[in-house]
Structure 1
Amino acid sequence: MSAQIRLVEITDANRDAVVAVRVHPAQERFVASVEKSFVHARESPEAKPWFRAVYDGDVPVGFVMLSWNTVPGPGLLGPYFLWRLLVGAGHQGRGYGRAILNEVVALLKAAGATELLTSCVPGQGSPEPFYRGFGFVPTGEVDDDGEVILRLDLGSRP
């Protein structure tokens, strides 16, 4: 199945429904909640957080957050960094993660970006195999939290 999604701005009208989207409990050590993502965004305005709810029709199925065209510095990767990618537990395995990344890549390429960075906690259940399957490759770096840094060359994506 090829998931059809829309990236939607988060407003007072949809905030509660988006916050209710949660990963499987076993994944919580790898992916912070939407609510925690909002906190991170508020606490780090220098990261230029850009976030959207992910909808399939009228149903929120996920959440994505990036640092958008930020200046890299201590503890801040960029200029484009995939900070959070979350697909709700009941919606996983349907192609939403790949669809979200395809949409993000299209937006970034339209903005003139050439690469997208992300990081992930290594270990059993980590999203690293998913990211690598999409085309991200390890940079050989590890951040201050012990997360592996991955890079996607946007020129390699259609």
Structure 2
Amino acid sequence: MEEKVRFVEITEDNLIECLKLSKTLLENQDKAVASNAVSIAQAHFAKNAWFRAIYAGDAMVGFIMLDYTPVPELGDIKHAFLWRFMIGGNYQKKGYGSDALHLLFENLKERGYEKLLTSCVVKEPSPLQFYLKLGFIDTGRWDGDEKVLLKDL
């Protein structure tokens, strides 16, 4: 990997590129994550969503979306939910995904967040091992057919 990753607002200028990025996912990965088009539409109607394109240099390499709606089980612990995360097929296995999540972890910690939740499918292809390597732990809970994971920040 050559370039440091950063989060960039999705605007009229880069929207189409972001939408097309979903079409680059590797075989069956589109079954593990909603398209960026669906994600952006959902974010516009969600009260507590935040979403950005992930760039490395001038290249858009991925998409990330959070939900800041409190989860009752975590009470007063400041937390967020990694709602969507994808790295384009041409950019996978180059370190961009882990770098993007490390950047997210740092950004959340700087803002006082203590925990990050996410969920993922476990049927292959599954990102479960990727998340576990980054320090997420299996909560033993399920959200539909997705395993719920938690990371201490």
Determine if the TM-score, normalized by the shorter chain, exceeds 0.5.
yes
Q: C-alpha root-mean-square deviation of aligned residues, in Å?
A: 1.7
Give the letter aligned to residue 50 of structure 1.
W
| Kept after mapping to 1: 8 A contact 2:5/2:96 | yes
- Contact kept in structure 1, 2:70 and 2:80, CA below 8 Å: no
CA displacement at 1:59 relative to structure 2 = 1.2
Matched, 1:136 2:128: no
**Preserved CA contact (<8 Å) 1:2 1:94:** no
Letter in 2 for 1:131: Y
Q: Find the counterpart in structure 1 of residue 26 from structure 2.
A: 24
Establish whether residue 146 from structure 1 lines up as the match of residue 145 from structure 2.
Answer: yes
Q: What secondary structure does 2:4 align onto?
A: coil
> What secondary structure does 2:28 align onto?
helix
The question of 1:9 aligning with 2:9 is answered yes
Q: CA deviation at 1:123?
A: 1.5
- Given that 1:3 and 1:95 are in contact with CA atoms closer than 8 Å, whether structure 2 keeps it comes out as no
Structure 2 residues without counterparts, runs of 5 or longer: none
User: Which residue identity does 1:146 align to in structure 2?
Assistant: D
Matching of residue 40 in structure 1 with residue 39 in structure 2: no
> Cα deviation per residue 1:101-142 (whole Å; 9 max; x = unaligned)?
011001100110001000001122100000001110001111
Give the 3-state SS of the residue equivalent to 2:118 in structure 1.
Answer: strand
Q: Indicate whether 1:100 and 2:100 are aligned.
A: yes
Structure 1 window deviating more from structure 2 (104-113 vs 19-28): it is: 19-28
Are 1:53 and 2:53 an aligned pair?
yes
- Specify the code of the residue in structure 2 equivalent to 1:120: C
Residue 44 (structure 1) shift = 2.6
Which residue identity is paired with 2:87?
V
In the comparison of the two structures, how many residue pairs are matched? 147
Report the CA distance between 1:72 and its aligned residue: 2.3
* Structure 2 residue identity aligned to 1:30: A
Q: Normalising by structure 1, what TM-score? A: 0.87
TM-fit CA distance, 1:3: 5.1
**Partners in 2 of 1:8 and 1:149 — Cα distance?**
27
Letter of the structure 2 residue corresponding to residue 61 of structure 1: V
Tell me the secondary structure at the aligned position of residue 28 of structure 1: helix
| Cα separation, 2, equivalents of 1:127 and 1:18 | 21
What are the superposed Cα offsets for residues 45-76 of structure 1, whole Å, 9 maximum, x if unpaired?
Answer: 2xx110110111111110000013x22259xx
Measured in 1, the distance between the counterparts of 2:60 and 2:111 equals: 25
